[in-house]
Amino acid sequence: MQKGVVFNSVLLYNKCMKVEKELKMTEFESKCYGMTEADIREEYMNSITARFTGLEMVVMGILSDAQELLAMGRSEQSRKQMNIAKFILSEMMEAKRSTVA
């Protein structure tokens, strides 16, 4: 197989996966986060950054991104980033409650 064919196949696969995930995304997730809660867990909470520096640093990074988006006038995307940060914080709080109880 040639390089271009493999690359195009990967792009097509990625596009199909994105469409499939969008079909499975609830209306709430779409409006609130712009991604599924499962994707938040996968892309943020299970990231290398989370493993090496902790979820607190992930949240700080997300809030910094939201701040930059707001400065660029992209308030809707900023709002979704802030909601993602709040979701992660709520998951952290729930995990803490579960270990105490």
- For residue 100, name the pLDDT band (cuts at 50, 70, 90): confident
- For residue 101, name the pLDDT band (cuts at 50, 70, 90): low
Alpha-carbon span 53 to 15, nearest angstrom: 31
Please state the rounded mean pLDDT for residues 23-30. Answer: 89
What pLDDT digit, counting tens, does each position of 37-65 carry?
999 999 999 999 999 999 999 999 999 99
Of 24, 23, 29, 26, whose CA–CA distance to 87 is shortest? 29
pLDDT of 24 reads 81
Residue 13: C-alpha distances to residues 9, 10, 17, 39 (Å): 6, 5, 6, 17
Residue type, 39: D
Please state the rounded mean pLDDT for residues 19-45. Answer: 88
pLDDT of 8 reads 61
Residue 54: C-alpha distances to residues 43, 48, 90 (Å): 14, 9, 15
